Every structure is written in structure tokens, then in C-alpha cells.
Amino acid sequence: MLWFVGLGVSGFDSVPARGIDVLARADVVYLEQFTSPVPERDVSRIRDVTGGKLVLAKRWQVEDGAEILKSAKDGEAVLLSYGDPYIATTHIELRTRAAAQGTATGAIHASSALTAIVGECGLHFYKVGRVATIMGGESFATPYRTLYKNMAEGGHTILLLEYDQERDFFLDPSDALAGLLEAEKGQARRVIGESTYCIIASRIGSEDQRITAGMISSLAGTDFGSPPHTVIIPGSLHFTESDALGSTCRCVDAPAGNTVEKISAQMIAKYVPMVRAALEEAKSMYAGKYDDVLENAEMYIRDAEKFLADGHDEVAVLSIGYADGLVDALRMAGGLEPKM
């Protein structure tokens, strides 16, 4: 039998009651620490309740899995890990392999940083969009894009920061934010800037947890203490979220949400007045000619605004593009500059 037991977010204190029984009964317990470090004090409490052998498993031992699967075939084995066990995709793979060799599996779920952090910050979980992971050495294009997508829908974004157990390396929140600001320069979707409101959740679940919030510019140079840290960039804030953040976290600036204008809305805002002006010039140039084309252009400009207001973003963009094309064809034909 192979058990996946979660340590939860508070070390030994957050192991579910039933998980303790499983640890006591097992022949061998593999303690995995590569998702998040487990304090020495907790390791010794785990050792105390573990009935069989306790193995401090290396990352390769869990990824390779051969020894763990053999132990689980021969007896009762436990893989004990931070948070809720199946959040780590490595564990899901191990479960599949156990099933393939005919070994029964079971999980003792425990608290996860994902839900705990959002709640501690006072944010509504149903507003959280897709989680982004930030690796120091990799491109920030993907997390930047995830942030845009979430924020365009008013959602919050959790940014999980790189942790490498072997190098004892945690990506610093400031470096993560600096990387996103750099991505903004390249992609220019107006997603993030110095005035973006951020929340840094540090050591959630431990006794010295702390949540610091404020604009990126205000947080510069702040010492968030020892890791782990998680960054949350909120989207729009409901007043109960602002109140919760303000009353229970250390806010350098008053709680504020972030908004991004969707690319489609940015386009309509830019092109509608531009195409209208181009249309007026074309009208006076042709004075009574090509009325059907000009009327169509006028209609599609209005449609673009209406479709955007109704949430049909793509049709709105298609409409303003079409109106622009109608007008520009006449302008080009008449010797005027096109306005695309």
C-alpha cells in the first residue's frame, strides 16, 4: 500500500489526525521536502510518531520512484509532503505507477498553501484565476500573459516563486516583480507598473507568517523576512476583500485592486475616434458619392461600440476593422493617406 500524506501548511501541527495513525502504522515513511522546506523541529516530531523507518527522501528518489514503489509493494509505505499531496504532479505520476503494479494507494489530504494564502489575504477564492509559476532563469512571457488574462476578467493571480531545495534557493519577490515589469516593457499590454498593488504572503501557516501589501514602488527595498514567499496580484477588489486586507495585513498603501483594459477595449478606444475623423474627411471629399459605403462605415463604427459594451469583444474589433477598411479604400482611391 502506498499512502500520500499531506503535512499541510503548518508542519507537524497541520497533519490531519488520521494521517498520524497512518504514519504510526507504516513500515517506512519517505519525507519529501523539495516543494517547501520542513523545519528541523517538525522533522523530529515526525520521527517521534513514525512507527517504522523515516527516510529523508531526495528529489531524485521521488522522481525515480523505484525504491518507494518497491517498499509499497512489500509493505505499507508513506510519501509525506508539504501541503496537499496531489498538488505535486510527481506524486500523481507515482500513484499511477503504483496502480499499474497493482499496489493500492490512498491519500490523506491536508491544507494547501493555495487555499490558505488566498484566505489569509482575505481574498475570495472564486475570483482566483489560473496560478502562475515564476522561475528565475526562464522567460516571464507566460506568467505575464496569465496575469493579463486573469486581470482582464477581474481575477486575482497567485504567483508561485521558484524554490530549489538542492541549492537552497528561493526566488525573491522583488526579482519576480522586476521580471514582470520587464515583460511589460516588451509586451506593452498595460498590465503591470510601479503603481500596481501587490500582496506578498510570507511564511503562511508558520507562527511568524506576515502579509505585506502595497504598490510595487512602495514595496521596493522592503525586507519580507525569510522565505517562502508568494506574490498575489489582485484584480478588482470587493469591499469585503479590501476590508479584510486592510484589517489583518500590513498595508503600506491603502488596499486597492488592479484593472487592465482588455486589448479589445484599448483598440476600440483608439480606433473609434480615429476612424470617425477619417470618415468625416472622406465624406467631405466625395460630397454625395459612395453614400452606401460611407453609411455602412458609420453603422459599423456604432456597432463596434455596442458589441464591446455587450461583451462581444471579437465582433467589436472585427467591426471597427471593417469600418476602417471601408473608409480607407475610399481615401486611397481618392488620393488620401489611409488611416490604419
Amino acid at 229: H
The number of residues in the chain equals: 340
Closest among 199, 192, 200, 197 to 226, alpha carbons compared: 200
Which of 110, 177, 191, 251 binds a copy of itself (CB under 8 A)? It is: 110
User: b/e for 64-82, b at 16 or more Cβ within 10 A?
Assistant: ebeebbebbeeebbbbbbb
> Please, which residue, 64 or 93, has the CB nearer to a copy of itself?
93
Which of 14, 81, 103, 230 binds a copy of itself (CB under 8 A)? It is: 14
**136 to 175, contacts with a copy of itself by CB under 8 A?**
149-150, 153, 155
Amino acid at 119: G
Residue 326: CB minimum distance to a copy of itself, A: 4
Part in contact with a copy of itself (CB under 8 A); list of ranges 88-96, 161-169, 174-182, 220-228: 88-96
**226 to 245, contacts with a copy of itself by CB under 8 A?**
240-241, 243-244
Which of 2, 9, 62, 77 binds a copy of itself (CB under 8 A)? It is: 9
Residue 105: CB minimum distance to a copy of itself, A: 8
Pairing of strands 229-233, 157-161: antiparallel
Considering the rule CB under 8 A, would residue 283 count as an interface residue with a copy of itself? Answer: no
Considering the rule CB under 8 A, would residue 15 count as an interface residue with a copy of itself? Answer: yes
Binding mask 183-212 for a copy of itself (x = CB under 8 A): ----------------------x-------
| Residue 245 cell numbers, joined | 486586507
Alpha carbons within 13 angstroms on the beta-carbon side of residue 63 total: 6
Residue 221: CB minimum distance to a copy of itself, A: 28
Amino acid at 24: A
**120 to 139, contacts with a copy of itself by CB under 8 A?**
120, 122, 124-131, 133
Q: How far is CA 254 from CA 199, 212, 220, 222, 297, in A?
A: 12, 11, 16, 17, 46
Q: Which residues are registered as beta bridge partners of 4? A: 79, 107
Considering the rule CB under 8 A, would residue 333 count as an interface residue with a copy of itself? Answer: yes
Residue 278: CB minimum distance to a copy of itself, A: 12
Closest among 87, 69, 60 to 79, alpha carbons compared: 69
Considering the rule CB under 8 A, would residue 215 count as an interface residue with a copy of itself? Answer: no
Task: Assess whether the previous peptide bond of 228 is cis (omega < 30° from 0).
Answer: yes
Closest among 52, 1, 62 to 29, alpha carbons compared: 52
Residue 148: CB minimum distance to a copy of itself, A: 11
